[in-house]
Amino acid sequence: EVQLVESGGGLVQPGGSLRLSCAASGFTFSSYWMNWVRQAPGKGLEWVANIKQDGSEKYYVDSVKGRFTISRDNSKNSLYLQMNSLRAEDTAVYYCASALGAPTGNWGQGTLVTVSS
Amino acid sequence: SYELTQPPSVSVSPGQTARIPCSGDALPKTYAYWYQQKSGQAPVLVIYEDNQRPSGIPERFSGSSSGTLATLTISGAQVEDEADYYCYLAGTSDFAFGGGTKLTVL
Q: How far is B96 from chain A (nearest CA, A)?
A: 6
Distance separating alpha carbons of residues A59 and B51, to the nearest angstrom: 26
> A62 to chain B: which residues are within 8 Å by CB?
1
Phi, psi for residue A23 in degrees, rounded to 5:
-95, 125
Tens of pLDDT, residues B60-80: 999 999 999 999 999 999 999
Using a CB-CB distance cutoff of 8 angstroms, which residues of chain A are in contact with residue B43?
A: 45, 95, 107
Tens-digit pLDDT profile for residues A47-91:
999 999 999 999 999 999 999 999 999 999 999 999 999 999 999
> What is the rounded distance in angstroms from the CA atom of residue A111 to the CA atom of residue A73?
19
Which residues of chain B are under the pLDDT cut of 70? Answer: none
**pLDDT given at position A104:** 87
In 3D space, the residue among A43, A52, A50, A78 whose CA is nearest the CA of residue A64 turns out to be: A50
Q: In chain A, what residues touch B96 (CB-CB under 8 Å)? A: 47, 61
Q: What's residue B2's pLDDT? A: 84
d(CA A17, CA A14): 9
Residue A2: what pLDDT?
94
pLDDT value of residue B51: 97
User: Tell me: the pLDDT tens digits for A23-46?
Assistant: 999 999 999 999 999 999 999 999
